[in-house]
Structure 1
Amino acid sequence: LVPFLFGLRKEFTTYKLKHAAAFRSIYSWRLFECLRSWQGAGRWTPTIAEFQEATDATPTARANFKELRLRVIEPAVKELREKNGLIVKWEPIKAGRKVTALRFEFEPDPQGALF
């Protein structure tokens, strides 16, 4: 039984609660969890549907990418930069005029917090 319990640590994302406790938005928290799960790669490329499911976006944000960008992505990325010391860059991936996926590239801030 012990090997199975210790094996669970490999399958789940762990982080210190103090890294996420200052977030005011649930979207920041969920984006942080997703980025943390891909920390070894340094990038995460979900489809729009995967991203909406992971962040539990509102129906209006699901229907319109502009709403998703303004209400979910940009505020969450800004909060991650300010409160967690992550350098997060994101860009939409398009097929024609339609956004089909997102690309997040992230790394810890090499300067860290100054105080």
Structure 2
Amino acid sequence: MQAMTGWLHMPRGDGHPKVLECDFSPTELEGLIRAFATATGPVNFVVTFCNCSDGIVPFKLANVLTGERFKFRRLDVDKWRLVRCPSERDEAEWAVWEAEAAGTFDAHEGPENE
């Protein structure tokens, strides 16, 4: 979990959000929530969790200190999306980034490969 959290919290040089797809882990989600709640600086990422179990509920959080939102929503039967982004964002630009995140995962990118 620490590798994933660390990788997600290292900003990209181009300003785009980091993108990751992985199997769901309640422990990893809790760690990301804690990191968001205690953050003092902004970072952007889109995580798609696969193989999610029943009983998961969507949520939306805000961090006034960093000016960010943190949203967890269902995509389909067993996929959920977690997005950390600016509270005030270009919705059209982020829609494109989230759409790209849905289908452009590269096996050579991610926390184990950087």
TM-score per shorter chain, which class? Answer: 0.3 to 0.5
The structure richer in strand per residue is 2
TM-score, with structure 1 as normaliser? 0.33
- Greater share of helix: 1
Structure showing greater Rg? 1
